């Protein structure tokens, strides 16, 4: 199996965190799952998955001395970026997978992404893949032409989820606009170092989420709801196995 570490940082993701983790757990070697102060059942659900692969950590600033001194006990936007850099430092595999608490992979799609990482060109630093953004429920998703993300020459519902760990890889900015950079350049602005993989994961960002604990999360998440939009019906066999 191609060695791979997954990176997950969550807060109040009880609705989707368990299927998200279970959708990748058999295909990765190690899951770094860090919680930043959940008050719902997120932690309980993570701990209910009995696997030595999961390395769970509660990451309030007092728990992470290497970056805590800059944040005065608060989990803020910049602190989340510091946590992502800490996860990079703790990664021992050549590649890692970004997995948010609302992202669920069909098995064959994840295997396709992993195979692409294994066969990537030496100069490739990251893989670009599609997302299917669920709308209304898990059985419907927005058409690709509704996506306006631009990564290199590709446009649509896109994201970067597989990244090669190199010496000068660093996350900069503030959540939710943080950027993975190499040599000071954002990965999405380095088309010569990207490969496109025509596969997708199910992104549940537009569906109902768990509790909101501060104003910036409320604004960010309310903007994502798209109840008024109609989606394409998912074929039953396309739905991620953990959601069937």
> 222 falls in which pLDDT band (50, 70, 90)?
very low
Which of 55, 35, 46, 26 minimizes the C-alpha distance to 213? 35
Which residues are paired to 159 by β-bridges? 129
Model confidence band, residue 74 (pLDDT cutoffs 50, 70, 90): low
> Which span out of 68-82, 145-159, 160-174 was modeled with the highest average pLDDT?
160-174
The C-alpha atoms of residue 177 and residue 204 are separated, in whole angstroms, by: 18
| Cα distance between residue 114 and residue 116, in whole Å | 5
The secondary element (H helix, E strand) that includes residue 7 is strand 5-10
* 17 three-class SS: helix
Of the candidates 83, 26, 71, 66, the residue with the CA atom closest to the CA atom of residue 49: 26
Q: pLDDT at residue 228 above 80?
A: no
Residue 240 has pLDDT above 70, yes or no: yes
Q: 71-75, 173-177, 191-195, 236-240: which range is least confident on average? A: 71-75
How far apart, in whole angstroms, are the C-alpha atoms of residue 241 and residue 244? 5
Range of the domain at 169: 5-243
Mean pLDDT (whole number) for 47-72: 72
Could you give the number of structural domains in the chain? 1
What are the tokens at 221? Answer: 């998440």
| Model confidence at 215: pLDDT above 70 | no
The model carries a pTM of 0.89
pLDDT at position 145 is 85
The domain that holds 168 is classified in CATH as 3.90.550
């Amino acid at each position: 199996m191609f060695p791979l570490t997954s990176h997950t940082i969550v807060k109040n993701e009880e609705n989707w965190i368990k299927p998200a983790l279970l959708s990748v757990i058999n295909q990765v070697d190690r899951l770094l799952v860090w919680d930043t102060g959940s008050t719902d059942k997120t932690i309980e659900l993570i701990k209910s998955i009995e696997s030595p692969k999961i390395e769970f950590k509660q990451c309030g600033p007092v728990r992470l001395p290497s970056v805590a001194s800059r944040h005065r006990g608060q989990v803020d936007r910049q602190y989340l970026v510091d946590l992502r850099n800490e996860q990079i430092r703790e990664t021992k595999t050549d590649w890692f997978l970004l997995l948010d608490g609302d992202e669920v992979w069909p098995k064959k799609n994840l295997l396709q992404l992993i195979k692409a990482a294994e066969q990537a060109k030496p100069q490739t630093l990251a893989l670009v893949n599609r997302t299917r953004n669920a709308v209304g429920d898990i059985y419907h998703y927005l058409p690709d032409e509704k996506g306006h993300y631009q990564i290199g020459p590709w446009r649509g519902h896109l994201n970067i989820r597989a990244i090669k760990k190199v010496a000068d890889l660093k996350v900069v900015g503030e959540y939710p606009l943080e950027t993975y950079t190499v040599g000071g350049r954002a990965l999405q602005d380095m088309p010569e170092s990207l490969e496109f993989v025509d596969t997708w994961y199910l992104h549940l960002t537009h569906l109902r989420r768990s509790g909101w604990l501060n104003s910036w999360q409320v604004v960010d998440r309310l903007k994502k709801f798209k109840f008024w939009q109609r989606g394409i019906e998912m074929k039953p066999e396309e739905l991620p196995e953990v959601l069937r």
